[in-house]
Copies of this chain bind each other. A is one copy, B any other.
Amino acid sequence: MILCYKKNYRKIILCTNCLISKNKEINKRKWEDVIEVVNLLVGGIKNMICFDKESINKLDHLYRINLINSCTGFKSANLLGTIDIKGNKNLAIFSSITHLGSDPCLICFILRPKSEFRNTYDNIIEKGFFTVNHVNKNDVGDAHHTSAKYPKNVSEFDKTNLEEEFIGDFIAPYVKSSKIKLGCKYVNEYNIKENGTILVIASIEELYIDENILEDDGWLKLENAGTVAINGLDGYVETQLLNRFDYARPKKEEGG
């Protein structure tokens, strides 16, 4: 089966090259032909498009980052609020904020220190604290706009309708409209040598939650916060709860 697949991926490359050709004339007929041929030969993976490492490497840059950024599933949508020692504020959208542990309460996220998020990283290192604010569905346009490359002395709070909010004596700015927000403290970082990214570890110092979101057992119904998720680099989705399940235990053997 793999031989058929290997024989065919060259045709798939040809096809994706058509799709991303500069004149944007997509040869739909060719694409369908290729899928048909692949399906016939590969059989077991009917109606599936296959990319292997070599074909991915040959893809156009933008096609590739769209594909690879969306293939791991949905990502969290959070705005990171920071401030530097001069008082310049910064707000930037991140899709890699992840739960790391509940005891101690830790989160982590990935950044490229030489990217547009350099301001966020520098501010976190300078001040040691930052905020994490859920993006809600009314704010997706403004939230996405925070990924534009503004100079360090320009605050994204001034370039969007997102309002800054300082709560108590926490030094970093929160996003006022955000219904779930975390005050975080920088703890450590790990250099990921495979691609030069940095994994930042932070602790949760304080947590603000709109009262309609917190359920009796501590679970937050994110749908009630209007919290969105990110699909790829630039897609924003709203959600609807399918189900909550009990803690999973092994099924008992029948007749055992």
Contacts and interface: CB of A to CB of B under 8 A. Distances in A.
Contacts of A187: 194
A145 interface: yes
Interface stretch (A83-91, A119-127, A225-233): A225-233
A211 B48 contact: yes
Interface in A128-182: 132, 134, 137, 140-141, 144-150, 154, 159, 165, 167-170, 180, 182
Given A74-B74, A239-B229, A204 B68 contact: yes
A207 B68 CA distance: 9
A82 interface: no
Task: Label chain A's interface by main secondary structure.
Answer: mixed
Interface residues on A, range: 35 or more
Q: For A148, A203, A214, which residue has the most chain B Cβ atoms within 10 angstroms?
A: A214
Contacts of A207: 50-52, 56, 67, 71
A14 interface: no
B70 A222 contact: yes
Nearest to A78: B73
A222 B231 contact: yes
Interface of A: 1-2, 5, 16, 19-20, 26, 35, 44-45, 47-53, 56, 59-60, 62-78, 95-108, 110, 132, 134, 137, 140-141, 144-150, 154, 159, 165, 167-170, 180, 182, 187-188, 190, 192-195, 197, 199, 201, 203-212, 214-223, 227-229, 231-251
28 contacts: A47-B211, A48-B211, A49-B211, A53-B206, A56-B105, A62-B217, A64-B102, A67-B214, A67-B218, A67-B219, A68-B99, A72-B99, A73-B76, A74-B77, A74-B229, A74-B239, A96-B98, A106-B195, A108-B110, A141-B245, A188-B193, A192-B201, A219-B231, A220-B232, A236-B241, A236-B242, A236-B244, A237-B240
